[in-house]
A and B are shown apart, each in its own frame.
Chain A
Amino acid sequence: MRKTKKSKKIVTRRDFLKGAALGTLSIALYGKDRHLFAKTSGGAAAFGAENPQSTVVLIRNEKAIGAGDAINPAIVQEMIDAALKEFSGEQDAAKAWAKFIRSEDTVGVKFTRCGWMRVHTEQPVIDAIVKRVGEAGVARDRIIAQDGGMPFAKCTALINVPTVKVHTLTGIAVSLKNYINFAPEPSKYHAPSTNLGEIYLLPEVKGKTRLIIVDMLRPYFGPGPQINPLHRWNYHGIMIGTDPVAIDTVCLKICQVKRKLFKGEEWPITPPPEFISYADKNLKLGTSDPTKIKLVKLGWDKDVLI
């Protein structure tokens, strides 16, 4: 990395090739991961940490999406319950939800419904979450499922429910990007977006996120800015965790692998989502180091890509 006269660091593509940029996140973008996928003598394996800093559960079900891309609500409910039981270590779905939501909470279910990009959180995913939050004892009028205009200040608990989109300005949009409309000036975080994770630390947001439930049923891996339907694929997945940095890192890797498969050659996500490593190194919101993440995979394994 070089510095300009004003001492601003310039990160170049060569820094990624050397593995010197964005720390271990480089492996998700530039394939510098062979040594990490092979288990090292220290026991560190990418997304297979034995003593993890963060755990992420990915569940997939072939029947989650039917003809005409119709989402099966019952299967989605089953997937979320099963993933949450695994994540929480509980055998019973109600007990699993009770670990994260209290009956006295006011719960914001923050989904994404970007009108122009059209990669929305699927309604069955939102419905399944709202249903379980209600069953956890939260009155319906204290469950606020919304995208724009969410009154997050009055929420005592937030459930972050993003989709997965490769994004032309930020690189990728998953859990960190999903809170962008909580910021007083959202456009400030589009490009460059290094400090996107700051939104997680706003006084009215900080510490409220109890769960992240990612709708990975139909992610988007194309260049944008608007959607090209050719770049959307049925992945049939739901991902659950509490570490937004780890979740974004896993999703980045999956999208990167998908892009390479689609083109049949390297097609790095660009611009590099520097905000993920910044959220790790500077904001301490979680880990972007694949060797510190334990990815638990459940269900359908075909074309899981990770």
Chain B
Amino acid sequence: MSKSRRQENEISSSASIFASILPQEISGWKKSQQDQVYGRENIFDYIDGGGEIYLAYDFQFVFVREFAKGDAPMIVVEIYQMSSSEDAFGVFTQDTDGDDVKLGQGAIYAAGLLRFWQEKIFVRIMADKETPEAKSTVMKLGEMIAAATPQEGTRPGLISALPSEGLRPKSLRYFHTLISLNSHYFLASENIMALSPETQALLAQYEKENNRAKLLLVAYPSASQAEVACKQFAEIYLKANVQPEGKIQAKKLEDGRFSSITRKGRFLILILETEALPLCERLSQEISQKLEGQNS
């Protein structure tokens, strides 16, 4: 059997499980059309001009079921199957605005839209308009999917390198490539950090002693790749030379804030911006210490 045929079969099998989890009817809302499934090859048929964000992760396919009920808002359930729990978490962090709710391994609700992740899936359930009845039904559907996905996935191990003190709630973003970085924080028009599907990156914001900092932590497959990216960032962005030990002095940016980069083996710690130089140095140092022994 060819690889693509095998993948098609796997998608079909997984999609049928999702189809069986979801009801045909719930609280008067009925399945309104045939379920849809889109994989990496045809995601643009569903999200033309936005599918790139999912493809930047190890997205496998999305299962879609729509529910309608007379004049009530339409409800659309989307279940995104990823091949790793880390990337299910990553897609979930793309947009974290809303209220936390207890569901799956992390869930947010906002004005008719429920998002959560569990094991290797990311789920979006949206009512066209928020009504009390639609909200209740959206939540029920979410609970059904979470209950049918009993296993838990792991968050990216890289998160353990971040100090918890001062980390702003919901500021964490996990991704791999430039397109994701650019959707959160514009650093440069070219891939000066040499991000790729093989890199793991975390964006986070800190608030300590009335000072704020934005940081980017990147894990590369090898120290030599990290070294190349470090040099590029230093030369192109900071306009500075890298010392042999991989550290450079923090630089003052045009808005008066500071930025720095530190290499620790195959990891790069970038303080993208902070008002306070001591915070810049302290965060870099704390993360460096936490990364000790993680170079393998």
**Which one of B98, B183, B187 contacts A13 once the chains associate, using CB atoms below 8 Å?**
B187
In the complex, chain A residues 171-215 whose Cβ is within 8 Å of any chain B Cβ = 180, 186-187, 190-192
Find out whether the CB atom of B183 lies under 8 angstroms from the CB atom of A69.
Answer: no
B145 proximal to A (CB < 8 A): no
Q: Does B162 contact A (CB under 8 A)?
A: no
Q: Which chain A residues border B124 with CB–CB below 8 Å?
A: 226
Complex partner residue of A228 from B46, B97, B187, CB under 8 angstroms: B97
Which residue of chain B has the shortest Cβ distance to A29 in the bound complex? B186
A124 at the interface (CB under 8 A from B): no
Which residue of chain B has the shortest Cβ distance to A17 in the bound complex?
B254
Residue from the list B47, B110, B185 in contact with A225, Cβ < 8 A: B47
In the complex, A213→B46 CA distance in Å?
27
Fill in one digit per residue for A219-255: 1 if any B CB lies within 8 Å of its CB, else 0: 0001111111111000000000000000000000000
Which A residues are in CB contact (< 8 Å) with B190? Answer: 4, 8, 10
Contact status of A223 and B94, CB under 8 A, knowing A169-B50, A229-B111: yes
Per DSSP, chain B at the interface is: loop
Tell me the residues in window 139-197 of chain A with beta carbons closer than 8 Å to chain B beta carbons.
167-170, 180, 186-187, 190-192
Contacting pair B95 A270 (CB below 8 A):
no
1/0 per residue A93-130: CB within 8 Å of B? Answer: 00000000000000000000010111000000000000
The reply to whether the CB of B253 lies closer than 8 angstroms to some CB of chain A is yes
Interface size of A in residues (CB-CB distance below 8 Å): 43
With A18-B254, A225-B47 known as contacts, the answer to whether A230 contacts B186 (CB < 8 A) is no
Residues of B within 8 A of A117 (CB): 49-50
Chain B residues bordering chain A, tally (CB within 8 A): 40
Taking CB atoms, residues of chain B closer than 8 Å to A10 are 188-190, 192, 236
* CA distance in complex: A42, B51 (Å): 47
Q: Does chain A have a CB within 8 A of B112?
A: yes
- Contact A228 B188, beta carbon cutoff 8 Å: no
Nearest A residue to B111 via CB reads A229
| Nearest chain B residue, comparing its CB with the CB of A223 | B95
Which chain B positions have C-beta within 8 A of A169? Answer: 49-50, 52-53, 179, 183
**Inter-chain contact B183/A228, CB cutoff 8 Å:** no
Tell me which of B48, B52, B54, B111 contacts A191 (CB under 8 A): B52
| B46 adjacent to A274 (CB under 8 Å) | no
Bound: A2/B239 CA distance, A: 10
Q: B188, A12: Cβ atoms under 8 Å? A: yes
Q: Which residues of A contact B53 (CB under 8 A)?
A: 168-169, 224-225
Q: List 5 A-B contacts (CB under 8 A).
A: A12-B236, A16-B186, A17-B255, A225-B50, A268-B186
Measuring CB to CB, which residues of chain A are less than 8 angstroms from any residue of chain B?
A: 2, 4, 8-14, 16-18, 68-69, 114, 116-118, 167-170, 180, 186-187, 190-192, 222-231, 268, 270-272, 274
Known contacts A9-B189, A116-B50; can you find 13 more A-B pairs with CB under 8 A? A10-B192, A11-B188, A12-B237, A13-B187, A16-B186, A69-B129, A114-B49, A167-B49, A187-B49, A224-B50, A228-B110, A229-B110, A229-B112
